[in-house]
Structure 1
Amino acid sequence: MRNTARWAATLGLAAAAVCGPLTGGAAAAPDAAPSSLYAPSALVLTTGHGDNAALATPERAVTLNCAPTASGTHPAAALACAELRGIGGNFEALKSRDDVWCTKVYNPVVVTVDGVWQGKRVSYERTFGNSCVKDALNSSVFAF
């Protein structure tokens, strides 16, 4: 239980750090000019071992900002942002490669995404059978 509380606190702080600056324009007057021409795209991506995010042992969390330019702590931010733009921010569209063979050993890995994609709130969770299955995605989005 203690681990879950620490995991939740980490996610909350990371989300506040990434999304906090995005809320500053909400208090502006209705006729005020927007501070940016780009809809915000700021995400916190996490990975850990467990059947779901609530039970997962946290391993890593990164930030990914895609507008107006790619940045954040994600090791391949520009490539990940380009891939997400290509699928319209639909994480369900991330598919596995056909040329990778993984064992059937069940050691679940869960990935989560929380934040804002092109101005819309995003929350995504997916559990893979093991690390090989996760790494077989034809994408760099969860390669961190």
Structure 2
Amino acid sequence: MRNTARWAATLGLTATAVCGPLTGAALAAPSAAPASLYAPSALVLTVGHGADAAVAVPERVVTLTCAPTASGTHPAASDACAELRAAGGDFDALSAGGDVLCTKEYNPVVVTAVGVWQGKRVSYERTFANECVKNASVSSVFAF
């Protein structure tokens, strides 16, 4: 239960820090000119071990901003943004491709993405059987 509370607090604070500035534009006066021609795209990505995000403790957390340019703490922000754009923001469509042989060891790894993609709220979670399966299944978006 303690891990769940810590997970929720960490994710909530990180999402607020990344997405909080994005809500200010929505509260601006209707007559105010838009600050940018780009729809906001700012995400908090996590990787942790556990059966799902409710019990997993995030081991790695990065931020990814894709509009107007790729930035954030993600080590390959440009590649990750390009792959998300190509997939239309659909995390299930991301695929690393290639044939990789993995052991059948069960050590679940959960990845999450929370934030805004092209102006729409995003909340994504996926659990993989182990780290090898995760690396073989997803592209550079969750490679950090």
TM-score (norm: length of structure 2): 0.96
Shift of 1:31: 2.1
Percent identity at matched positions? 78
Deviation digits for residues 22-74 of structure 1, max 9, x if unmatched? 01112211122111110000000001111100011221111000000000010
Q: Is the 8 A contact 2:112 2:123 kept in 1?
A: yes
1:71 maps to amino acid: S
Structure 2 residue 51 is the aligned partner of structure 1 residue 76: no
Q: Secondary structure at the match of 1:112?
A: strand
Q: Distance in 2 between matches of 1:134 and 1:105?
A: 13
Q: Secondary structure at the match of 2:106?
A: coil
Q: Pairwise mapping of residues 1-144 of structure 1 onto structure 2 (< 5 A)?
A: 1-137=1-137, 139-144=139-144
Q: Distance in 1 between matches of 2:77 and 2:103?
A: 29
Q: Distance in 2 between matches of 1:76 and 1:96?
A: 15
C-alpha RMSD of the superposition: 1.1
Q: Distance in 2 between matches of 1:48 and 1:99?
A: 24
Which blocks of at least 5 consecutive residues in structure 2 are unaligned?
Answer: none
Q: Distance in 1 between matches of 2:90 and 2:43?
A: 13
2:78 maps to amino acid: A
Shift of 1:97: 2.4
Shift of 1:8: 0.9
TM-score (norm: length of structure 1): 0.96
4+ aligned runs moved over 4 Å, structure 1 = none
Which blocks of at least 5 consecutive residues in structure 1 are unaligned?
Answer: none
Q: Secondary structure at the match of 2:23?
A: helix
Shift of 1:137: 2.8
